[in-house]
Amino acid sequence: MPAKKPAKKAAKKKGDYDASSISVLEGLEPVRKRPGMYIGTTGPDGLHHMIWEIFDNSRDEAMGGFANRVEVTLLPDNYIRVVDNGRGIPVDVHKQTKVSALETIMTTLHAGGKFGGDESGYKVSGGLHGVGVSVVNALSTHTRVDVHKDGFQYMQEYNIGKAKAKVKKLGKTKHNGSIVVFQADPDIFPEIKFDWKRIVSHLRQQAYLVKGMRMTVIDARESEEKLDPKSIESKIYLADEHLSVPHETFYFEGGLKSLVSFNNHYQKPINKNIFYVEKQDVSPEVLTVEVALQYVDDISPRITAFANNIYNPEHGTHVTGFKTALTRTLNNYAKKGNFFSAKDKDTAFTGDDVLEGITAVISVKMPEIQFEGQTKAKLGSVEARSATEAVFGDAFNTFLEENPDDAKAIINKVIIAVKARKAAKAAKDSVLRKGALEGMSLPGKLADCQSRKAEDSEIFIVEGDSAGGSAKMGRDRKTQAVLPLRGKILNVERARIDKMLASEQIKNLVIALGTAIGDVFDVSKLRYHKIIIATDADVDGAHIRTLLLTLFFRYFRALIDEGYVYIAQPPLYKIQKGKDVRYAFTDEEKFDILKDMGEEVKEEVEENEDGEETEEVEDEVKKTSRVRIQRYKGLGEMNAEELAETTMNKENRILKQVTVEDAQNADKVFDILMGTDVTSRKSFIQSNAKMANLDI
């Protein structure tokens, strides 16, 4: 008898998700040796990146139309739980690895549904090229995955990236989806402390990007229900249990339009109707472009960009295409509508003109995507530029034609920007020309350093002539320069360059830094690689510091991004007992020093005028004590020796480097604190009064 032919394998249906959808590229061993290569850092950014990696897989299911609900829960013992109602991770045996697809995905680097070219994998993916879940597993002490798929529930557990046993079939289920629970490894991460606000902010943003996805975040770390992170598989969605713990749910049908509205909450709109378009461009490949924008009564542009739902802080080709189309479309509309006077008929809007006061969000989704650099901060795909330019340009032109009132308001806004640009250029040229004619003469109040090497030089921006005098006497003349400011500088939040440069204080600072300002700003010409803001430890000092940070954030952002801006931390107290002299930077440090000196510190509980109890610690120690405590109210109260020893000496001083972890949130804080909306500012201050030391 002829041998039986092997049975033909059933044809794969479109959208099927099984082991054959998973591609394998290489092993997992390097992850624990060099975690920074895979998650960027083992600090707070890398720790939170672990959540984003697991979440991205669930979000990709929603982007593909296979899920509409995702839940992220913070659990006791530093566990994180991510759930989706997607297709469920495949559990059948993978032909290449000979183990289940689930184990392959969880224990093999570059294994995932993001490499296959068929219909079963992801057409559009935002994950880290398929490495995400295996990297998280490798950097976790314990991981558990529950899969609800095809009527059954499956489970597998792992320790430090290695499977404890084979995949178990637990029983029947009426659900579909995946549950991933992991516990970050303290041997990898020095501090495991998840930031609730940071997580909520990131996931809210993602909810805007996937229309119709219900996104829930739960903080069950202090839950009275005593949830056991290792055995909660029976509860698919914890939010359905009505837990009495902090939680947020986001669901946006408006997508990017809703995000623009959210970003402009504290702004006065110029065009009442928010522009929005979502459309596919099929040349040369299918690419989805989504753009929303609205102009507001402000001078700063706010452009947020995403590619496959990954935030691109450095923008990229899609933003280039958007800007090109925006400038061309507004120029054409203005000329067609005769918005220019006869003498200005040859005027053309520049890219900077049309960006003034714009709030825009640009998102592209494409199957083959390229980023510039490991961090995905900038999109490099060439196709994204032409697609965004074509889709947005056509739609925005139609918007202007169909909304003449909004179009007129936008054009008038841009014309004001043109006039301001010309005035600012004249003022700026005047400053630069003056500097050139005087051989770039530095401000008279600046005590410059001897070094001409920027990397060795630093400048102290101090408050008032008194502190300036002490700083000049106590500095290291070779490497330290001092520039005293007279009072509070101009609030530049809504000021143009011409008004700024009319301020002697700001003009002196610009010339001292050497970078120029505006479109001729050049960070390579910076004269000092440490710009140190040194103000008094009081309300006025904090205000001056905020004004300076506003100036740097709005007009010298590169100085912050490249790590050149610092805040000095002068001591609050000088404590002396005989020849033993010490300085305390906080009240707690003061009490520790007193105790170390053998002094008793009395604590007294008193009632304030509202009848509330307040705890105070007496500055006065025993009457017989020889301890002298001096409270510094300002830098000017220190003599040159004290200021040099505590605040300027590189061996002893404490400096805080100014960074911007979340540019969007920082932008919003500056809008509130330094803008014109008094009600919002008052509300913000009242809400954050107890957090006096704000990091932006």
Pairwise pLDDT comparison (433 vs 511), residue with the higher score? 511
Q: Say whether both 77 and 61 belong to one domain.
A: yes
Q: Has residue 252 got a pLDDT over 60?
A: yes
Tokens of 541: 């000092």
Place of tokens 């921006």: 461
Residue type at 593?
I
The mean per-residue pLDDT over the stretch 671-680 comes to 56
Q: What is the pLDDT of residue 547?
A: 87
Q: Final residue of a domain: which of 227, 250, 273? A: 250
Residue 332 placed within a domain: yes
The domain that holds 331 is classified in CATH as 3.30.230.10
Contact indicator for 104, 24 with CB cutoff of 8 Å: yes
The domain that holds 234 is classified in CATH as 3.30.565.10
Q: What is the pLDDT of residue 621?
A: 46
Q: Say whether both 296 and 324 belong to one domain.
A: yes
Residue 577 placed within a domain: no
The domain that holds 490 is classified in CATH as 3.40.50.670
Residue 590 placed within a domain: no
For residue 150, indicate whether it is catalytic: no
Q: Say whether both 96 and 209 belong to one domain.
A: yes
Crossing angle for the helix pair 404-437 and 504-513, to the nearest 10 degrees: 70
Q: Which of 402, 538, 587, 596 is catalytic?
A: 538
Contact indicator for 35, 188 with CB cutoff of 8 Å: yes
Tokens of 611: 């009848």
CA angle 677, 508, 427 (to 5 degrees): 70
Q: Which of 536, 642, 667, 671 is catalytic?
A: 536
Pairwise pLDDT comparison (647 vs 14), residue with the higher score? 647
Of 30-34, 235-239, 389-393, which gets the smallest average pLDDT? 235-239
Residue 482 placed within a domain: yes
Domain total for the chain? 4
Q: Say whether both 466 and 525 belong to one domain.
A: yes
Chain centroid, CA 330 distance in Å? 31
Render the burial of 535-553: b for 16+ CB within 10 Å, e for the rest. bbbeeebeebbbbbbbbbb
Domain of 245 in residue numbering reads as: 19-250
CA angle 378, 382, 388 (to 5 degrees): 85
Residue 616 placed within a domain: no
Residue 530 is inside which H or E element, if any? strand 530-534
158 phi and psi, to 5 degrees? -140, 150
CA distances from 266 to 14, 194, 676 (A): 46, 28, 9
Residue 594 placed within a domain: no
Q: Which of 463, 493, 642, 671 is catalytic?
A: 463
pLDDT confidence of 676, banded at 50, 70, 90? Answer: low
For residue 222, indicate whether it is catalytic: no
Q: For the chain, how big is the Rg over CA atoms in Å?
A: 30
Residue type at 292?
A
Q: Final residue of a domain: which of 250, 269, 298? A: 250
Of 158-172, 531-545, 606-620, which gets the smallest average pLDDT? 606-620
For residue 406, indicate whether it is catalytic: no
Contact indicator for 630, 574 with CB cutoff of 8 Å: yes
Q: Which of 16, 372, 540, 599 is catalytic?
A: 540
The mean per-residue pLDDT over the stretch 116-144 comes to 68
CB-CB neighbours of 265 under 10 Å: 11
Q: Say whether both 466 and 508 belong to one domain.
A: yes
Q: Say whether both 351 and 377 belong to one domain.
A: yes
Q: Final residue of a domain: which of 200, 222, 250? A: 250
Exposed, middle or buried, 467 (CB in 10 Å: 0-12/13-18/19+)? buried
Report the alpha-carbon distance of residue 635 to residue 533 in Å, rounded.
Answer: 12
The mean per-residue pLDDT over the stretch 130-150 comes to 88
Give the tens place of pLDDT for each residue, 34-69: 888 888 889 998 999 999 999 988 998 888 889 999
Strands (E) located in 284-326: 287-295, 302-307, 310-311
Residue 552 placed within a domain: yes
Of 96-105, 135-144, 147-156, 421-430, which gets the smallest average pLDDT? 421-430
Tokens of 306: 């995403």
Q: Say whether both 678 and 641 belong to one domain.
A: no
Q: Say whether both 403 and 531 belong to one domain.
A: no
Q: Say whether both 125 and 265 belong to one domain.
A: no
Q: Say whether both 335 and 446 belong to one domain.
A: no
The mean per-residue pLDDT over the stretch 171-187 comes to 92
For residue 463, indicate whether it is catalytic: yes
Q: Say whether both 365 and 399 belong to one domain.
A: yes
Q: Say whether both 211 and 277 belong to one domain.
A: no
Highest mean pLDDT among 162-176, 400-414, 430-444: 400-414
Residue 197 placed within a domain: yes
